A and B are shown apart, each in its own frame.
Chain A
Amino acid sequence: MQQSLRHIDFFIQDGIAMLGMDMLDKGVNILTQETMDELALCIRKIFSINELHGLIIYSKKKHQFIAGANIEDIASIKDPSVGADKAREGQDLMEAIESLKIPVVAAINGPCMGGGLELALACSYRITTDSEKVKLQLPEIQLGILPGFGGTQRLPQWIGLAHALDLILTGRAIDAKKAVHLGLVDDIVPEPLLLETAKKWIGLGKRKASTYKLSKLQRLAESVPAVQKLMYHKARKSVLQKTGGNYPAPLQALDVIEKTFKKTDAFTYDYEAQKLGSLVASPICKSLVQLFRWTEEIKKTSQSLPPQPIRQTAVLGAGVMGAGIAHLFAKKGKDVRLKDISLEAIEKGMYKIFTDFNFEKKRKRLSSRFVSNNMHHISFTTTNKGFKKTQLVIEAIVEDMQVKQKVLADIAQHVSPDTIIATNTSALSVSEMSKPISNPQRVIGLHFFNPVAKMPLLEIIQGEQTSQQTVSTAFAFALSIGKTPILVADRPGFLVNRILGIYLAEAASIAQEGISIADIDYTMKKFGMPMGPFELIDEIGVDIANHVGKFLGESFPYFPTPSSLLTPLVDAKRFGRKSGQGFYKHKGRQKRLDNKLIKNMGLHTSTKTPDDHLERLITDRLVLLMGNEAYRCLEENVVQSERDIDVGMVLGTGFAPFRGGLIHYLKSRNLENIKTTLATFSAKYGKHFEPSQALVEQSYRS
């Protein structure tokens, strides 16, 4: 039997069956057809052996347990019945593990996710190591599906309805301590003692699922139908609030739990499988999975040249972006030297960094050592001293070419000749900026998005002179600080701000044509954007949006600019959230449209939601325009692939992930029709709608 197992080290020791997951040629263990078959084979074998005391399922990979199902399988299933069958197969395997007569211990030493956690739930006991790498998660919702290997059934059985709803419907990860608290994990063990301790747990005998950590009162409450109803109602409300009803998976998962909780017949598992089948075959799941795979693909892109390690960094400018970047670098273990022209500016920046760390500390309940250890990575100065060992310096100062050139050329004299010199410009030309700098091949653009800590995208801008070595190092550096990088050409606005720029400008035009701001914002949120265009302008800052809009208008003659709408606001010092009022009035996290202002500007207001026709018009004018611009970017080689556009727009702007990205959305509609619509718009609204060459070519192909 040993010979037939390729992914599992299976043996019997002192009457205990040891099942060590060790997937061939992979860094992680996942549940593929092959590994599931082998697992099933092992379980069958165990059934046939008498006098076994127990089974321990563990991983032979360091800090890796089982990361879940095979994403390729999820991507490939197009037929709901195939999906349901696949789920049943998984359910059968978990059922087989659960029905073994001997106690089974899952000895978890790393991420235990999706199908991996569902497998662990079928065991009598779950113990984990004390490593920070351990996390438990049912992330299926995030891929547009639900836990289909019995997860919706067994999780409530162990931790109760309320906690199970929370974990399944959000797909969030919890650490081992939290898991112990919930009753999901029995013991946290020093890593070297994991298997030894697992054997001790076997001694406690077989155990059936029970909500042993819940109080009697909680247990009683959850058994009352009226209480359950209330919980479902609250869960549904929270899901709808978060997703705007655009994501069916959490609602379906909720439906499964609602219909099957505390029921014992065979129907329950079958219902889970059916629902999984229909979700996994849906276009939304395909969109989300594609984005996930693309993001992973970007992270795994290998560079042509080996990257140089970066540990010593410097940030010029202690404003919001500079402080944000310094905070991120420090958090990721880089030494940071922060420079600004005055100590007052640095003081503000340091305090912002300190409050950011403190906020994280409070949220994650970390010790104050967390804050100080991170802050210790940062030193600051107003001089040019102490940059000799800097390996990467990035500027985040005022968006002015001359100033940037001067500052970078200046610092270039004080760092070593091969120190990477980066700019965080959001639109200016990197090639131009590198001109006065010695060794311009080391100059690169690293465009972070605000807020730096939260936004996962990094645009890496390769100037005309930027060397491949610099790009390689920047790419690896981006990954080391937890960002997803896309490589973009040195064109005005790069990728994200260019597409966002034309979108905001067009939104301004629509408003000026007489459609209310409320309708525009409502429609785009309904489409799936995290906020409407005017809310976004307020967030970015009306002045900055205006500045970027003008810049793009100068760079691309066909670009509309929002300046006739925005300039009066800037003149009135209504800068958006940062000044308390823009199109909206802001108070803390609350905001409401300033209708008085809107009327004064000669714009329309509205009180009722827009009708379908209007919604369609707004969506098409804004989204198809963005799509057209995206194709134009491909045409101009701003990015190299549709992948980078879709990942870039989702990670950089929050473009509706369930739509799979901008290009994905366009393609999911008929490109031929889109071309026609664009042509009509072009005649009516302006040349910026003129279908781009790349889009026209694609439309023939589709």
Chain B
Amino acid sequence: MNTPVAIVDGFRTPFVKAGADFSFVSAQELGRVVTAELLARSQVDPNHVDEVIFGNVAHPMDAANISRVIALQAGLPLNISAQTVSRNCASGMQSIATAVDMIQAKRSNIIIAGGTESMSNIPLVFPKSMSLFLEKLARSKSPIAKLKTLSTFKLSYLQPIIALLQGLKDPFCGLSMGQTAQILANEFGISREQQDFFALGSHQKTSAAMESGRFDLEVVPLFASQLKKIIHRDIGPRANQTIQALEKLPPYFDRKHGSVTVGNSCPITDGASALLLMSEEKVREYNITPIAWIRSYAFAGLDPKRMGLGPAVATPLALKSISKKLSDMDLIEINEAFAAQVLSVLKVFKTPAIAKHIGIPSPETLSEVDPAIVNVNGGAVALGHPVGTSGNRIVLTLSKELHLRNKQWGLASICIGGGQGGAMVLERN
């Protein structure tokens, strides 16, 4: 069995729904703030950090290899290398997985692994017709040729493509993420009411975590210079959310027969999260008490149309590799892309027949889970889902919660657009 990797500490920025207070804050700035705070708070000499890995989906145009930009801006020495990883919605978990591999292979000892996403800053792009037109114009040399080209211009060339929406659409099956969730709701018989109550619970648990100060353990305030403001609380969760308000929303992805609404889906959000990971050897050397250990992880693929079931296919693999069962888990995080999707996963967990039917590997590791141990601090339906960040955020929240409750085992799992799932198992001691 592979050696465990220590989570020494971790932080995230507040999660702020897109278009709000982080509109002018770039993904690299979000990543920089959490990285700088990790460095400031830990006793690790920045010179001893071996690598910086961030997950990111939208790759800002002004920050190629965003991890390198983050590392340098956070003040890490120039000789420390950095890479950016991408596994769509699990990019922030992939950075941890890559770090685990590198540490287990003894290539590295200390790695900062994070995720960052500014969905507010995903650009609008010109259509191809516009770029062809501009090319043609540049090639036209004489004034007459230029005029001729100009005369071919059509207003439709200026119609922007919203890159954000393109990103949320599966290019293979042609469905938007919301549509895949609607498929699960239909197939697994998840009612509108169940979804709305799940969403309500998410808002209530998240708001409670904000009020109680639980999130202060993981949130780093950030100064947004454009707004002259320090943002230190998540913006999105609603403490006063009512079921009536949720019930009023029209179905969004299938307006006629659907049940998935914007209220029981995760909002588009900005935020970053990062963990400081360390080999067992260095933990001893620095005499550090980690908040948790990473024991195993797994990624697996499935039909893009049912991408929301991702956690159900990846979880058994991660459990089986360390001979554990779902029933051993004390706390579980399942990223809430859609209420329907989480509820479908929980249904697969508790129903061996379905698991077998849809071809889940090693279904014997699965069993019904107590809803009271799932997403105890709420989740993405309230908090939002910055795609490159969430995979990291659930591991962060889970590790701190294990530490806080002094529980032994935790599972973090996430569905991935494009038809994949990711799962990671943590152990406290």
Chain A residues with CB under 8 Å of chain B are: 335, 337, 343, 346-347, 350-351, 354, 372-373, 375-377, 379-380, 385-386, 388-389
Contact of A386 with B41 in the complex, beta carbons under 8 Å = yes
Residue pairs across A and B with Cβ atoms less than 8 A apart, 17 shown, are: A335-B75, A343-B232, A346-B230, A347-B223, A347-B228, A350-B223, A350-B230, A376-B32, A376-B74, A376-B75, A377-B75, A379-B33, A379-B36, A380-B221, A385-B41, A388-B41, A388-B42
- The complex places the Cα of A474 from the Cα of B43 at a distance, in Å, of 24
Distance from B403 Cβ to chain A, minimum over Cβ atoms (Å): 16
- In the complex, A335→B32 CA distance in Å? 14
In the bound complex, do residue A379 and residue B40 qualify as a contact, i.e. CB atoms below 8 Å apart?
A: yes
Question: Contact mask B71-110 → A, CB, 8 Å, 1/0?
Answer: 0011100000000000000000000000000000000000
- CB atoms of A337 and B40 under 8 A apart: yes
A357 (CB) vs chain B CBs: closest residue? B225
B37 within 8 A of A: yes
Nearest B residue to A385 via CB reads B41
A391 to nearest B CB, angstroms? 13
Closest to A387 in B: B40
Going nearest first, the 3 A-B pairs with the smallest beta carbon separation are A386-B40, A347-B230, A350-B223
Does residue B229 face the partner (Cβ distance < 8 Å to A)? yes
Cβ contacts under 8 Å, A389 to chain B: 40, 43, 45
Q: Is the CB of A347 within 8 A of B229?
A: yes
Known: A380-B221, A380-B223. A343 touches B37 (CB 8 A): no
Q: Is the CB of B36 within 8 A of A343?
A: no
**Smallest CB–CB gap between A76 and chain B, Å?**
48
Interface size on B, residues (CB 8 A): 20
Interface residues of B in 9-33 (CB under 8 A from A): 29, 32-33
CB distance from B117 to the nearest CB of A (A): 19
Give bound CA distance, A372 to B224, whole Å: 11
- A residues in contact with B230, CB < 8 Å: 343, 346-347, 350, 380
User: Which residues 203-248 of B have a CB within 8 angstroms of A?
Assistant: 221, 223, 225, 228-230, 232
Tell me the bound Cα distance from A351 to B74 in angstroms. Answer: 20
Contact residues in B for A379 (Cβ distance below 8 Å): 33, 36-37, 40
Q: Give chain A nearest CB distance to B235 CB in angstroms.
A: 15
* Residue in contact with A351 in the complex, picked from B33, B42, B225, CB distance below 8 Å: B225
CA gap between A379 and B73 in the complex, in Å:
12
Also in contact, A386 and B37, with CB within 8 A (given A347-B228, A376-B73, A377-B75): yes
Interface centre among B32, B37, B74, B225 (most CB of A within 10 A): B225
B40 contacts A343, CB within 8 Å?
A: no
A375 to B226: give the CA distance in the assembly, Å.
13
Closest residue on chain A to residue B216 by CB atoms: A383
Inter-subunit contact A375/B41 (CB<8 Å) = no
Cβ-closest chain A residue relative to B75: A335
Task: A380 to B33: give the CA distance in the assembly, Å.
Answer: 10
A375 CA to B43 CA, complexed, in Å: 23
Contacts of A376 in B (CB 8 A): 32, 36, 73-75
A422 → chain B, closest Cβ, in Å?
19
Cα A598 to Cα B140 in complex, Å, equals 77
Docked Cα-Cα span, A373 to B32, in Å, equals 11
Q: Which residues of A contact B45 (CB under 8 A)?
A: 389
Contacts of B228 in A (CB 8 A): 347, 351, 354
The winner among B33, B223, B225, B230 for most chain A CB atoms within 10 A is: B223
For residue A388, which residues in chain B have a CB less than 8 angstroms away from its CB? 41-43
Please state if B225 and A375 are interface contacts (CB–CB under 8 Å).
yes
A389 to B41, CA, bound (A): 9
Q: Which residue of B lies closest to A342 (CB)?
A: B230
Complex Cα distance, B224 from A351, in Å, reads 9
CB nearest to B73 among chain A residues: A376
Residues of B within 8 A of A375 (CB): 225
- Chain A positions within 8 Å of B41 at CB level: 385-386, 388
B:39-53 near A, CB below 8 Å = 40-43, 45
